[in-house]
Amino acid sequence: MASSYISGRHLWGSRVRLTRGIRAVLFALESALGVLAVLLLASLTHWTGWLLPVAFLLYLMIVVPTALWCGFWQALIVSLSAVLVHGIVISRQPEMKLASDPVNSITFLAFVLVSLLVSRLSARVTENARQAEHRGEQMRDLYEFTRRTLQLNLHVEPGAQLADLIHDIFGLEAVAVFDADLHRVYQAGYWTQDPLELAQNVYYFETNDDDLESGLGRRVVRLGAAPVGSLVVRGETGPLTNNAIASLIAMTFDRYRAFANESRIETERRTEQLRATVLDSLAHAYKTPLTAIRAASTGLAEMGKLSPGQAELVGLIDEQTAVLNELTTRLLTTARLDGGEVKIKAQPVSVGTLLEEVLASLRDRLAAMKVALELADDEMIMSCERQLIVMLLTQYIDNACKYSIYGTTITVRAERGKAETILSVHSFGPVIPMADRERIFDRYYRSATLANRAPGTGIGLSVAKRVALLHGGYVWVTSDEQEGTTFYASIPDERQKGIGE
């Protein structure tokens, strides 16, 4: 289809492409035909004896078509020949001496003015027709380009496909498309210059122009206000066409990225489903042997008659079994949270009692720490799933224990918002970089600046985030060298969020 566009593109301009020699021959031929027509008409006028006004009208019938179809200069030559030939004819008719020199001059001037007017009008109409035809061809090209871009294969990078389409549909000599996101230049056609350097310069220096001398059109490809690439073409395209092509390229880049993100999200969702299934299976598989090991260690301790060394080993087995059991429970809960198996059954819970229970369960872990408990109201009540909020607070406090500076105080606080309860754990330790303050709540993610300071799996904070989300709330963290680090969890009132429905 593109070939048909190219072959019919310059029909109006075919005359312009003729060589100078052919143009000169054509000019001479047109002028000679006009002069011949004047001679024939003059002979006819002389033979029939027509009056001067009638002869002038007949001459105009030659001058006007010549100006209309051939041009002003050919019409000027025909006009001059008509005046001269008719003057010669009149000079041979004594009865018409009155119409000699003055009349000839006025006649010639009238012919010239008519030729000029008609040729200008004809040139304007022809130019308007040519421009209309050219605009129509550009619109057809743009329509075809738009249609073809909608059919692109978005499973692969669109740059190469776009360059080929622009080159073929618009019949350009060369095309270069720069994708800034992938940092690649795609080209089509023949380039005498380096297209990589050209396209990158357009992008980095934000050049938008059309160089008539070199035939280059340069455009920055923008998505909104943000530059996402560039376009460089060499050929016969106008500024408006180049703008439209650049806009269509930007939309195609955006569609490609949206499609890639959608595919990535779908892949991640399936991966998460598989991961949750594996975690659930492993957690269940670990539970049985852990229970047996803990029962055996408890039985050995109760049997007595153990040496101090044996008793110490049994205690170590029991302690590490408890750690493994807690980790397995956390993995199992994580899998159930992500699988949507956990249903919130919110009940009124005393916040003070809840916090004391959590601190008591972590007594051994907090033995070497300074802990402060702050309650805005001793009678504070919140509506939540008790066990899940215990997991959230346990994770926050355990995290503070891992990273807090020795000798500083860990502060556990609860306060009321407008329609929510805000739980927080504050400690002094390494500052969490701004770029990591959201990502540390993602599963398995650990900040590079903190990963080597304490052991961890990257699971706990993701569980805390999931618990808050299930309650209709959210989590966040603030971190500053002077103010310390504080992990927050906002749990809305049940009546506000409809928890448990």
Domain at 392, CATH number? 3.30.565.10
> Could you tell me if 40 and 187 lie in one domain?
no
pLDDT of residue 221: 92
Count of domains observed in the chain: 3
| Residue that is last in its domain, among 144, 167, 187 | 144
> Could you tell me if 158 and 140 lie in one domain?
no
Q: What angle do CA 335, 457, 410 make, to 5 degrees?
A: 105
**405: helix, strand or coil:** coil
Give the residue among 162, 129, 135, 167 at the shortest CA–CA distance from 148: 162
> Could you tell me if 265 and 169 lie in one domain?
yes
Which structural domain range is residue 219 located in?
153-341
Contact 368, 330 (CB under 8 A): no
> Could you tell me if 115 and 179 lie in one domain?
no
Q: Kindly tell me the sign of the dihedral angle through the C-alpha atoms of 289, 292, 297, 298.
A: positive
> Could you tell me if 214 and 179 lie in one domain?
yes
pLDDT of residue 229: 93
Give the residue among 429, 455, 451 at the shortest CA–CA distance from 440: 451
| Residue that is last in its domain, among 144, 168, 200 | 144
| Residue that is last in its domain, among 144, 170, 195 | 144
> Could you tell me if 162 and 132 lie in one domain?
no
> Could you tell me if 215 and 132 lie in one domain?
no
DSSP string covering 425-463: EEE--SPPPGGGTTGGGSTT---TTTTTTS---S-HHHH
> Could you tell me if 202 and 104 lie in one domain?
no
pLDDT of residue 324: 79
Give the C-alpha separation, 172 to 167, whole Å. Answer: 5
pLDDT by position in tens, the chain (length 501): 333 333 333 333 333 344 566 777 776 777 777 677 767 766 666 666 555 555 666 666 666 777 667 766 776 676 667 666 666 665 555 444 434 455 555 655 666 566 666 666 666 776 677 777 767 777 888 888 888 888 888 888 898 999 999 999 888 899 999 998 888 999 999 888 888 888 889 898 888 888 878 889 999 999 888 899 999 999 888 888 889 999 999 999 888 888 887 777 777 667 666 666 666 666 666 677 877 887 777 777 777 777 788 778 878 887 788 777 777 776 666 666 665 556 778 889 999 999 998 898 888 778 888 899 998 888 889 988 888 898 899 889 988 888 888 888 999 999 988 889 999 999 998 888 888 888 888 776 666 555 555 555 556 788 888 889 888 899 999 998 888 999 999 999 864 444 444
Give the residue among 179, 151, 182, 184 at the shortest CA–CA distance from 165: 151
Give the C-alpha separation, 322 to 294, whole Å. Answer: 8
> Could you tell me if 392 and 313 lie in one domain?
no
Give the C-alpha separation, 206 to 230, whole Å. Answer: 9
> Could you tell me if 27 and 118 lie in one domain?
yes
> Could you tell me if 127 and 176 lie in one domain?
no
> Could you tell me if 216 and 315 lie in one domain?
yes
pLDDT of residue 123: 66
Q: What CATH number does residue 207 fall under?
A: 3.30.450
DSSP string covering 346-363: -EEEEHHHHHHHHHHHTT
